Structure 1
């Protein structure tokens, strides 16, 4: 069976879903979380775990647009994505169960 294909909101390249990080908004807020298990409800935004892609996604404010949210804090998203690409700064949302902190 083929893997689902998604588009990275940073570089806009298509990749298999397993190669991308899924981001969702915490219900009722504009806080962005990592959905490690890809099981949280709601719209998802996908980004490569490459610092260049994550920086581009934050700079273009593409994550908020993909999640259809206004008021997403670019600093929170930037910090979250930086912690994913730097193992020394492991975020609880990345290592936690299902992306909930």
Structure 2
């Protein structure tokens, strides 16, 4: 035996706001669509994605650190107003 448990491994991702690792299912995937940053609830939108906890604290931290455009490799700033409304509804 290799010492590994036989429980299914859950994929983990890092929140771009607080930089903590969490289960992929506990985070909100975001993608850039044009100049907007939109939530990808189903995880099926094309393009590079980034993950953030669905909490205003993490979203504000990511915006302040300019981590979202950097993680999505966007050439300029992204509008996060729609994403902010989505996170406010989730809280």
**TM-score of the superposed pair, with normalisation by structure 1:** 0.74
User: Over aligned residues, Cα RMSD in angstroms?
Assistant: 1.5
Structure 2 unmatched ranges of 5 or more: 1-7
Instruction: Say how many residue pairs are matched.
Output: 83
1:64 paired residue number: 69
Q: Distance in 1 between matches of 2:77 and 2:86?
A: 18
Deviation at 1:64, TM superposition (A): 0.2
The superposition leaves residues 44-98 of structure 1 with CA deviations (integer Å, 9 ceiling, x where unpaired) of 010001111000000111000000012123xx21x2232122229xxxxxxxxxx
Structure 1 unmatched ranges of 5 or more: 89-101
The structure that is strand-richer by fraction is 2
The structure that is helix-richer by fraction is 1
> Which structure: larger Rg?
2
**TM-score of the superposed pair, with normalisation by structure 2:** 0.82
**Match status 1:24 vs 2:39:** no
